[in-house]
Structure 1
Amino acid sequence: MASLSIVSRIMIYRFRSQLSWTVSAFAATAAVLTLSTPAQAATTGTASVTSATRVAFTAGSGNANAITVTRSGRVVVIDDKVTIKPGKGCKRVGSDKTRVQCTTTSNPALVTVSTGDRNDVITNKTGIPMNAYGGSGNDSIVGGSARDAVLNGGAGDDKVYGGAGNDDLYGGTGNDKLYGQAGADELDGQAGADYLGGGAGSDHAIYWNRTRSVTANLDGKANDGEKGEKDTIATDVENIWGGSGNDILTGNAGANMIEGHGGKDVIRGGAGNDSLSAWGNLGNTIYGDAGSDFIHSGSGNDLVYGGDGKDFVYGESGNDTVYAGPGDDWVEGELGNDLIYAGDGNDWLIGGDGNDRLFGEAGDDNLRGTGSSIDGESDTETNTLDGGTQVGEYGDSCYAGAASTKINCE
């Protein structure tokens, strides 16, 4: 038994030694293979004329590009800090491998620049519209003096500047900074905690492609976007387009255009003469607040508060409740059984189709139970028209059919 024990120990020792040698040899081989495998080589970007009026540059991989686009007549010059391969319609500028000039057959109408996987810079110094795609990396994109159709930072923490013109700016994934600058710009930060700055012109913060609920407030604070997103919409952005979720959209003291695109939305105009629309049929709540506002409430059973000012409210379909508020307001209930309170002022209330209840309240008001006939005498709907308190010389005028009830109508 003792001999067997010694033999066993010898075998175990040999096994362990062999295993150790095998593992060491494998590790050494792997190290050699790793050291002998070269890094992926950078590739060269190409510039080409793609049509009679279009020029495109696509960067290679592995390079940090610094693209500048300039123009002289029909010649578009693309300048980089790394080598550019001239494609169709393009040639090098002298012996400089980093500059090419591309000549279109007609005046150039579009330049497209796509960079790759490093921290790139794209600058358009022309009046030619540009499509720019930053790709991955922390990129900087500067638009030209005309409308730039698409300036898209792509993945990474990007900075995108629209320049002059009405531009469409997209951040892509990452925490991006979008600056519309001059012109009426559309700013879509997409995923990440983004900064949306408008600059001069009437600009839009875009969330229309979102399906989850969004909060957007034109107060310059990091409280915008989906839950936890923490976008910042600067105070020099005037307008908001919501998505299809249940959004809360709030304007500021300026003249704002705010649209909810589906969902059960809450929209506040704030002070200023605003245009507020909430599409969809789930029942929206809209506050015009101060100012003379245009309000379109959508096709559901909506609740509308006009607020101070001379407001125009259009109810569309659905059983809407409207409090027009102080001011000389115009309210059309349209389809559905609507309940409309005019508030103070000399107001026009038009119920539209359906069994409506209209209350003129204070002021000399004009109440019409139906939109189908101007005098309402052929109307069979059971509307209720209450002119309310007479303030001026003329009192309230009520128009409705024989089946309707008229109260305090002079």
Structure 2
Amino acid sequence: MKKIGSLLIAVLLTVSGVLAGCSSKETGADSKSKTISFMHWRGEDKDAFEELIKKFTEETGIKVEMAIYPSEQYPVQTVLRDGSTGDVFASNPGYQLQSLKKLGFYEDLSGEKFLDNFDPKLIEIGNVEGKQLAVPLQLVFNQPVYNQTLFEELGLEPAKDWEGFLKLCQTLKDNGYIPIAFPGADIGSGQFMNSMMMNNAPDEKIFDKLMSGKAKLTEEWWIKTLEQFKELADKEYIQKDSLGTKHDAAIALVAQEKAAMLATGSYAIASIRNLNPDIKLGLLAPITVPEDKAKYEGIHTTTFLLGVNKNSRKKEEAKKFIEFLSRPENASAYANQTSQHVTVKDVSYESEDLNNIVDWTTKKTRFQPRYLIPDENVEKAVLSSIQAVLGGESPGKAAEAAQAIVNQHIKK
């Protein structure tokens, strides 16, 4: 009997231990299931997102691990495959959205109630073939930022035509300023090209036509754009060694009041103000045609598209995070801390910078043309032609070289 009793006790202890172990593992697994991954490239938004994530975790019990990558090294296609990273991920419109869609990485968000929190017109870019694959959070203006105080001191106003823009640049140069800080080493060509070409090629289907062979980079619309880039470089309205200048360095030139304009976009305003809290900033776009021929005043983009990884095992938690970010009070907090307009309805803008440029939300702006290039190789060819011209190549030869690459990728 003693042996039987001892054996029974041992069995019970073993079972108890196993159950305790299972319970411990299940608790750990449950804890892990309450953690989602959020990946993006906006390092300058880190503090704002950390505050929002803390609030989200306190409310829902769901933790968020944030992974931030440099924009030019954003590995979104390579890390989403197994579903362990990027439960919520940001992407750009254009070829990145299209390629991720082809790879099947987007969970269809159509019918989600949080879509009602957004301005429907501003999230159309994330709707592909009738499915809402992602929702853009940011409304940005991809056109030069300028030092308003400096312009006022010199009696300058944004120009209404190309000759006026050149005269403005010359006045800035004559007064010892770099007219345009151009970050040619990373994002400059891809940003400044938008406002430089918007009225030279007002047809918003121009890149669709390029891909079908109905338009060419060797035609007047692109040759003229390259000639105007060359004119700015030849007259030294763009800083020397612009192709070796990165965005952070160009931002510093404006913040230090060495340069009057930054050839990127409104998303750089917060970074400039971080370096120079007293600077007053506005937006302008070069008008490259006579005033009466100008169809557009500037460029806008709805971007930072938030999507849910279709391979994720935590889709419901991921959707809750997007819903949280789309609430007006949270979108307002994000907008005001980062100086970014957003696509969410009923947002309260308290930031001086945002209120200073809010009039651009009602101006005649065009969706960023570069994001309408559906092929990555063609986009690189277009941007390379700008860099070639800034490096000394003639516009005609640069356009021919780029068109040769386009010809290899034209859709038959």
Please tell me the TM-score bracket, short chain as reference.
under 0.3
Higher strand share: 1
TM, length-normalised to structure 1: 0.21
Bigger Rg, structure 1 or 2: 1
TM, length-normalised to structure 2: 0.21
Greater RCO structure (CA 8 Å; 6+ sep): 2
